[in-house]
Every structure is written in structure tokens, then in C-alpha cells.
Structure 1
């Protein structure tokens, strides 16, 4: 009777603690399967007859099963059909930069032509931005798997996969800002054509620069070579900030209505936020280049 109480209490306590630990983010990302195996093995051993030879044999059988499964998975993943999570994370991060740049570049021509039906433009931008935002969970899973992979190709044991997640998160925030700007501009029916033309020049400056910078970043990550951030991109961002301040601080030659003035101020604020987020993205990428030891690109 006493033995049954001890067994039941132990199963409840250890099962509760292990189940709770599975919900912790760090444990769930890295050791979820291991904790589940521990719960199953612990319960199986504990409820078995309390004889040392049976318990030891059962534990050895479980260990051998886990070892064989691990060996088979490693052999298939390395020698037969290699699929590296690190490669997928690396190239998917570079692809997101290219994808967002192509989306902005492709929709820029239609940006100031406000048709009767704006759903096509908004749908394109929305789908691209949402795909970037929703890729966070998949990237976290890939980064977790990449930490356990052996040294292969350009990726060593201490490659900064956490920095990839930080870069991806900042890019997602930038995508959200771009979608907000597009959505506000296209849905603002009260903006006069005069004010639309007044915002056209600064918008084109920011968006064209954004396209160029994103493509530079994408190529830099893909080739693992240092971007020209400190040479060209950072001064360009500073120049954009000055131009936006000059354009929106200048007095308008047309007496703007209240709604038009609100439209102008909102566009100015959103563009400034986009430029600030781009500046932060430059710093994040510089940190990735340093930690991942990107090669210095030679310019002719």
C-alpha cells in the first residue's frame, strides 16, 4: 500500500513539473521532445515491477531505441538526403529582403494612380508583408534546429543564429510600417490631388532608396559579404532625413484644408518612421556581419 502511494505521488509530482517545464519558451524550443520522452520513460519504469534487473534492462532497451533512432536520423540527414535548417534559415532571410524590395518596387508605379478599385495593390502589399510577419515562428524553429547541426559549409558551431532572428524581427517591423503607409495613403479619399503631388517626391525618395537598400542587404546576406552600409547606405539615410525635414517644414503655396494638412503630417510621420527603422536595420545587419564574420567585399 505504501509503495503504491509513493509511486502514484512520484508520477504526479514529476509529471506535473515536467509538463510545466514543456511550456517554458526556451525548453519548448529546444528540449520539448526530450522532456516528453523523459515523462514516458519515467512512468514506464516506475510502474514496472520493482526489481533492479528488470528496471535496468528496460532502461537499456529504451536507451538503445533512442540511440538507434538518432543514428538513423543523422545518417540520413548527413549522407543520404541532407537538409540543413541552417541553409534554409540563411537563404530565407536573404529572400525576404529581396521579396519586400520587389514588392515595393513593383507597386511604386501604381502608388499615385488611385483607381476606383485599390484592392489589387493593397492585396499585393498585404500578402508580402503578412508572409514576412508570419515567418517568425518558422524561423525560430529553424534557428533551434540549426544550433544542433554539425559544422558544414560556411556555418560553424557558434554561428549567430539568434542574430538572424533579430534581423528578421526588425525586417518584419519595417514591413508592417510599409503596409501601414500604403494602406493609409490608398484609403485616404479626402486627400486632394495637390497634396498627393506634394507627397510624391519625398515618397519616391524614400521608397526607391528602400528598394535599393533592401536589395543590397539581401545580396550581402546571401553571399555572406559585408554590405556597404558604412560607406553608402548610412549617409544616404541621413540625407533622406534632412530632405524629409526640409520638404515638410517648408510653407505650402496652396492653402491646405484641415484634412489635407492632417494627411500631409501623417505621411511625413510614417515616412520618418520608415527611415528610422531602416537605420535600425542597418545597425542590426552590421552586428550580424561582425558576429558571422562576413567577408569584406572588394570594389573595383
Structure 2
């Protein structure tokens, strides 16, 4: 009993710490939970208050279900789901009444056959339509509600005489539930999808900048020493970008930016947030950041390689590599500040600084070519062989030792070559990120960049 009680206490303690952590990460989650609870309480009055229950009847449960499935964390998501549910219900109700009107003319036998055929055809066609990418991305929930409502009304019409009353009550309760969700989302501590996407893009840019700096500093300080704190900083920097692909299983394209951009487009343009910003351009920025993050992952992999270049060799290029990484990180932070402050930046200034650091690294690599091309001892030994008479076995032994020495040099040089090539590839990918953010700044009419503005 003592052991069981201890396990129960540990489980409760773990649950409490997890709940507290979720709330501390984003206090808006607590507010949203309270909003949903309040909305469910208000919509339950349709059941609890007798006059309301007598006016709407058993279909009051549709209002409760509407609140549960429609009310999302952000305004855009709630609007999108609410409009999809409303339009799907209206279209399904109209079509169901048309089917019932046609089937009711000849008689009961034809009515049953006609309803069965209509259910089969509409079910098959509607399900197939849901596979279309554009429908899947934008209207999947509305199509599903259309199919559900159509079947409920059409099949019920065969046994229920006053099916119009059922449909009318269902539409009314859905409208009540949807309207309550919109009021709660828009007027009580609203969370805007556009703001969510805006802040998410900024945090991804800054996270990648931190990850690159930490990765390069650790590589040149001591890559063999495991540091959990630096590992967490490196990992968290690109994890946020890579995880955005799988935040919602309903996405079939590139990343959650598409869903957030779509939700932001649903939000009213007269809101005080981002009324001029083309949200779909954020999708382009998100995709370029996703491709850029792959090079950061590869750079992190160089730290975990089984074969490491000696510290004495890495020290020769430490300053130039750290400088290039710092310039790339500065550029990412400048892009983040541009989006945060809604002002344009100077792509030319960023490119000039990065190209200068890249040229410095190139000069350092050229100053020590023997580290990558191998030594000339093998050629000198071959010349010495021509001048000295030695046995074939001694020449073979000398050649074997030379090849072993050269292979050892290359085994140390190749990991560092991979590391520097990832830095150069990172610069190439960064150009696309700069172009995407520059397009976003121009399309969003950010404040003009002035020559006296300093790059932080």
C-alpha cells in the first residue's frame, strides 16, 4: 500500500509539473481554456433553462458539439472552422430537401431506392473530392460536415414526417454555437493567427542564429567534450523549424506556416493587427528557413563525427570560421528585427559583410593548402629513389608507409573540409532567406531603410 501510494503521489506530482510547464510556456493557453469552459457553460443553458429547451428541443446538443469542435486557439482557426461548418450545413440541408422533394412524389418504394442511391452517390463523390489537395487544405472540414448533415437529414426524412423542423432546429443550434464561438474568440482576449505566425517566424530566425553560433564556438573550443547546455541550445535552434512540418497531421504540404497563413487570411482585415500583410508570403519565408535549417543540422553533425580534426589544425582557421558564423548569425538576427519592428533592411549591407568574412576564410584556406592536398614527401621520396640504389622490397615498404601517412592526413582533413563546406553552403542558402524576407518587407510596406540605420 505504501508503494502504491508513493507511485500515485509521483504521478500526481508529474502531472502537476507538466501542467504548470505548459501554462508557463504560453499563459494564453490558460486563458483559452477558461474561454472554452465559459462558452460551454453558456451554451449548456439551452438544456438547463426549460423555456430554451422547449423552444429548441433535443437538437440543443448540436450547439454544444459546435462549440467543442469549432472553438480553436486563434481567431483565424475559429472563423475558418465556423464558416466551413455553417456553409456545409446550409448546402447539405438545401440538397437534402431537394432529394426528399423528388423522392416523395412517386411513392414509398421509389423513395427508399432514390434515397439509398442519393446517399451512395453523394457519399462516394464527396469522399473523393476530399482527396483534392486544394479542397483538403482549405475546405476539408466543411465537406465532412456537408456529408454528415446530408445523410442525417436525408435518411431521417424516410421515417420522420416533419423533417423540416429537425433541420431548422439543427441549423439554428449550429448558428447559436458558432456565433457564441465567434464572440468569445473575437471579443474576449483574442489570439490572432497572424500574430502567431509573425512571432513564430521571428523566433525561428533567432533560434537558428543562436544554434549556428553555439555550434561553431563549440567546434573550435573542444568538440570532444560533451556539453549538454550547448547541445540544447544548438538543438532547440533548428528543432523549432523542423518540428513545424508535423505540428498538424492535416497538413499535406510544407510546414505549419501554410495552415497559419490560411487561418490569418480568414481574420478580419479591419483588425488592429497586420491588416496590410500578405500572409502567404510568410509561407515562402518558412519554406526557405526549412531548407536553411538542413545545413545547420549537417553542421551539428560535424561535431558528432567519429573522426575529428586535431585541435592544432582547427586553430589555424578558428578566427575566420567564427567570424563567418557570426556574420551569418547577425544577418539572421537583422532579418528577425526587420520583421519584429516592421521596417526594411539593406540586403546589400548584409551581403557585403558576409562576403568579406567568406573571403577571409578563403584566404586562410589558401594559406595552408598542404593540409588538404597532402604533403610533398611522397614526391621527394620518389626522386630520391631514382638517385639511390635500393632493393625492391625497401621501396615497396617506403611507398606503403607514405600512403599510410597520406591517408592519415586526409582522414583528419576531410572532416574539417566537410565542416567548412557546410559553412559555405549555409551562406548560399542564406541568400534565399534574405530574398524571401526582403520580398515580405516590400509587400507588407514596412518602413523604409535609411542609410543611418545601423545593423544590430
TM-score, shorter chain, exceeding 0.5: yes
Stretches of structure 2 lacking an aligned partner (at least 5 in a row): 1-108, 248-255, 376-405
- How many angstroms does 1:186 deviate by? 4.0
Who is 1:236 aligned against?
Answer: 353
Count, aligned residues? 298
Q: Aligned residue for 1:124?
A: 233
Instruction: Give the equivalent residue in structure 2 for 1:92.
Output: 200
Distance 1:25 1:206, change over 3 A: farther
The answer to whether structure 1 residue 66 and structure 2 residue 151 are counterparts is no
- 8 A contact 2:277–2:444 mirrored in 1: yes
User: Which position in structure 2 is the counterpart of 1:295?
Assistant: 447
Shift of 1:24: 3.6
**Is 1:276 aligned to 2:428, yes or no?**
yes
- 1:18 matched residue in structure 2: 126
Cα displacement string for residues 183-225 of structure 1 (whole angstroms, at most 9, x for unaligned residues): 2144253412233223423321221012211111111111111
The secondary structure found in structure 2 opposite 1:296 is coil
- Do the aligned partners of 1:139 and 1:165 also contact (CA within 8 Å) in 2? yes
Aligned to 2:274: 155
**8 Å contact 2:205–2:335 — kept in the other structure?**
yes
Which secondary structure does the structure 2 equivalent of 1:191 belong to? coil
Higher RCO (Cα < 8 Å, 6 or more apart)? 1
Aligned counterpart for 1:134 among listed residues 229, 243, 253:
243
Query: 1:76, CA displacement in angstroms?
Result: 1.2
- Equivalence for 1:259: 411
Listed one character per residue, the Cα deviations across residues 66-104 of structure 1 (whole Å, up to 9, x for unaligned) are 322232122111212311111111111112212222333
Alignment partners' CA distance in 2, 1:77 and 1:246: 58
2:95 is aligned to none
Contact 1:225 1:297 in 2 (8 A): yes
* TM-fit CA distance, 1:261: 3.1
Q: CA deviation at 1:264?
A: 3.6
TM-score computed with the length of structure 1 as normaliser = 0.87
Q: Verify the 8 A CA contact 1:114 1:186 in the aligned structure 2.
A: no
Q: Distance in 2 between matches of 1:109 and 1:261?
A: 19
Please tell me whether the aligned partners of residues 41 and 62 of structure 1 are also in contact (alpha carbons under 8 angstroms): no
> Structure 1 residues 112 and 8 mapped into 2: Cα distance closer, same or farther (>3 Å)?
same
- 2:145 paired with 1:37: yes
| 2:310 and 2:412 in contact (8 A); partners too | yes
The one-character-per-residue Cα deviations of 1:117-153 (angstroms, maximum 9, x if unpaired) are 4362444312331222112444333222111110212
Can you give the 5+ residue segments of structure 1 that lack an aligned partner in the other structure? Answer: none
- Would the aligned equivalents of 1:132 and 1:172 in 2 still touch at CA under 8 Å? yes
RMSD over aligned CA atoms reads 2.7
The yes-or-no answer on 1:221 pairing with 2:339 is: yes
Higher deviation after alignment, 47-56 or 36-45: 47-56
Query: Is the 1:199–1:267 Cα contact (8 Å) retained in structure 2?
Result: no
Contact kept? 2:309, 2:415, Cα under 8 Å: yes
C-alpha contact 2:299 2:422 (8 A) present in aligned 1: yes
Do the aligned residues in 2 keep the contact of 1:234 with 1:282 (CA within 8 Å)?
Answer: no
